[in-house]
Amino acid sequence: METTAKPSNTHIGRKICRIRELRSIKQEHLASELGVSQQTVSRMEQAETIEDDVLEKVAGILGVSSEAIKNYSDEAVIYNIQNNYEGSVSNYSGIYNCTFNPIEKIVELYDEKVALLERLLQSEKEKVELLKGGK
């Protein structure tokens, strides 16, 4: 009877590393937030297990729960990206219907600005006339 060893998917350090990378957080930043050196973070990411209190701190900095770290898998991330974002047949049609012409909006805003400046200029002219007439 042949048995094949199933690879362990419980390497917490690797999971922390992947989540950190996905969140675009550098080891230096994580180390700074934890109050440790970058080398300590590197060793932590190579460790298979991590104490729960440290895991909670790391999770807080990464913006996830410690359970999310423990249950993280690349397959789940890929599945979510494929099924919940651009290109997903069920959630995205691939067509964005703009209900206005952006160029017309820019022209409209420009015209409003010109009208405002003209009113401001007229107001200043009236002030000048009042000051001249008051002397």
Residue with tokens 């009208």: 115
Which tops the pLDDT comparison, 85 or 64? 64
Is the entire prediction scored with pTM above 0.95?
no
Which contacts of 8-12 are long-range, i.e. CB under 8 A and separated by 24 or more positions?
A: 8/48, 9/73, 10/48, 10/49, 10/70, 11/48, 12/47, 12/48, 12/49, 12/50, 12/55, 12/69, 12/70
Which residues neighbour 74 within 8 Å (Cβ) at sequence distance 6 or greater? Answer: 18
Q: How confident is the model at residue 7, as a pLDDT? A: 45
| 97 to 67, 73, 90, 101, 122: CA distances (angstroms) | 40, 36, 18, 11, 41
Q: What is the pLDDT of residues 32-73, one digit of tens each?
A: 989 999 999 999 999 889 888 999 999 898 888 888 888 888
Q: For residue 86, what pLDDT is reported? A: 57
Question: How far is 36 from 57, CA to CA, in rounded Å?
Answer: 12
